[in-house]
Amino acid sequence: MKEQTPLSVSGRVGDGEAGDTRPLLGHLAAALHAQLSAMEGDSPAPRLADALLRDAARERATDLHLDAQSRGILVRLRIDGVLHDAALLDHEPGKLLVNQLKALARLDPVIRFVAEDARLGYELDGEMLDLRLTRAPCLHGDKLSIRLFDRPIMPHQLQELGLHAQGLEELQEWLGSVSGMLLVAGPSGSGKTTTLYALLHRLKLHERSVITVEDPVEYQVDGINHIQIDKFHGMTFVEGVKAMLRLDPDFLMLGEIRDSDSAHAALTAASSGRALMSTLHSRDAVAVIETLRNYGLSGHDIATNLMLVVSQRLVRRLCPHCRVEAGPNNEEKHWLHQLGRPVPKRVWHARGCERCHGVGYRGRIGLFEVWRIDAEEYQLILQEGDRRTLYRHLAGRGHRFLLDDGLAKVQEGLTTLGELRVIGGYNVLRTLKLDD
């Protein structure tokens, strides 16, 4: 006989053809079960909240959503960047859980008509979880979303992030030169800061002075001086860079170039003879030139300071226990045709097993493009050459674009063609191809 449980959806996640999967919310299911069979007495709410946070932490979820719906409260987890329906709770336990989480965050239990934000620390098995809770009123009641700030694990090896050997060599060479600017480009959440810290880790910190200016400081590393941006007290990026330069550094790291002020601050630092690293939002390596121009830097400013650009994305890593090798499907073939790429006979696909909860993926891996600007490209940038010209030049010298790195990782069975869709900006490559 099937056991009765207030969890209407329990276990199966994603659309992989899952067999028997371990339920995503095992702790919560057990706590609900205990609540149903418990005697009157203590409120079960704290136990429910604890069980849910425990499940979320165990599954490495970065976000937790509780959505009020007509049928109950839908619980979803974001794992490796993708949301999964984890459970549909009946109204009663669902409400208990939502109110308990609101109470933990010291939010007013009364329904309000505006969104609210709160941060809270929650202790789980001796570890402090840093949570940010957002509550917004929706049709059927409050929606809660909780961001779980895990203490980030500092990557020690760039290879662990997925960087290919040739890129690693170019970065290593730059680290030895101690001059000019290195920029890491990509959208939010593509792991740019992690890459910078993995680079810093390769420096012999006792022989170098390294200073970072960040908003906020993401990793704390012994031997590195971190300056936290604090606009309220006048510590802006511009002020931070001025302060950095007075401290006699070898390496400077600026958290992000996000506007004209920070672009000029970065330029000041790099042209003072120090090595500067920073990140910015850009579609790919070549698009960085355009972004910097938009922030008011001239071709001369860029050409004389920019040495190396790394462009990156994060994609989901195939579960090694259940991946399957087969021909690409028609959609994938069509996509590769459009990009002018050869269609491989066999690629790896996601299937799903007990170890990956039927999702077919577990963890993430970076796709990387490393561009060291050569003498001819230096001239092209100096002469304000357009993006097409740069793409054409790079394609001519066999440059490994983001897509090339992605396709190599598909061949190695690390990810799938479907995951490569996260790379935008291939129109230019396609145009170049059609021109030829």
Binding footprint of Zn ion on the chain (CB under 5 A): 319, 321-322, 353, 355-356
**Least separation in angstroms between CB 419 and Zn ion:** 15
Question: Do 429 and 391 meet the contact criterion of CB atoms below 8 Å apart?
Answer: yes
Q: Which residues, 6+ apart, have CB-to-CB distance to 320 below 8 Å?
A: 413
Nearer to Zn ion, 274 or 323 (CB): 323
Output the CA torsion 36→37→39→45 (10° steps). -40
Question: Do 415 and 422 meet the contact criterion of CB atoms below 8 Å apart?
Answer: no
Nearer to Zn ion, 171 or 356 (CB): 356
Residue corresponding to tokens 């609210």: 116
Q: What residue is closest to Zn ion based on CB? A: 319
What the block records as the tokens of 116 is: 């609210």
Nearer to Zn ion, 21 or 212 (CB): 21
- CA-based radius of gyration for the chain: 25
Asked whether the CA dihedral 310, 314, 318, 320 is positive or negative, the reply is positive
Nearer to Zn ion, 226 or 355 (CB): 355
Nearer to Zn ion, 65 or 323 (CB): 323
Residue corresponding to tokens 């040739």: 166
Asked whether the CA dihedral 353, 356, 359, 360 is positive or negative, the reply is negative
Q: Give CA–CA dist 78/67, Å, rounded.
A: 14
Cα separation of the two ends of the chain: 67
Nearer to Zn ion, 13 or 66 (CB): 13
Residue type, 136: A
Nearer to Zn ion, 19 or 296 (CB): 19
**Least separation in angstroms between CB 117 and Zn ion:** 36
Nearer to Zn ion, 60 or 147 (CB): 60
Nearer to Zn ion, 354 or 384 (CB): 354
Q: Give CA–CA dist 78/146, Å, rounded.
A: 10
Reduced to 3 states (helix: H, G, I; strand: E, B; else coil), residue 166 is helix
**Least separation in angstroms between CB 24 and Zn ion:** 14
Nearer to Zn ion, 264 or 317 (CB): 317
What the block records as the tokens of 125 is: 């098995």
Burial of 151 (C-beta count, 10 Å sphere; 0-12/13-18/19+): exposed
Question: Do 404 and 351 meet the contact criterion of CB atoms below 8 Å apart?
Answer: no
**Least separation in angstroms between CB 26 and Zn ion:** 17
**Least separation in angstroms between CB 263 and Zn ion:** 44
**Least separation in angstroms between CB 80 and Zn ion:** 13
**Least separation in angstroms between CB 366 and Zn ion:** 21
Closest C-alpha to 33, from 73, 6, 66: 6
Nearer to Zn ion, 14 or 191 (CB): 14
Q: 4 to each of 32, 36, 146, 422, how far by Cα in Å?
A: 11, 10, 29, 41
Cβ atoms < 10 Å from Cβ of 209: 16
**Least separation in angstroms between CB 352 and Zn ion:** 6
Question: Do 75 and 63 meet the contact criterion of CB atoms below 8 Å apart?
Answer: no
The kind and range of the H/E element at 390 are helix 387-396
**Least separation in angstroms between CB 321 and Zn ion:** 4
**Least separation in angstroms between CB 12 and Zn ion:** 14
**Least separation in angstroms between CB 412 and Zn ion:** 17
Kindly report whether the peptide bond that precedes residue 44 is cis, defined as omega within 30 degrees of 0.
Answer: no
Question: Do 368 and 407 meet the contact criterion of CB atoms below 8 Å apart?
Answer: no
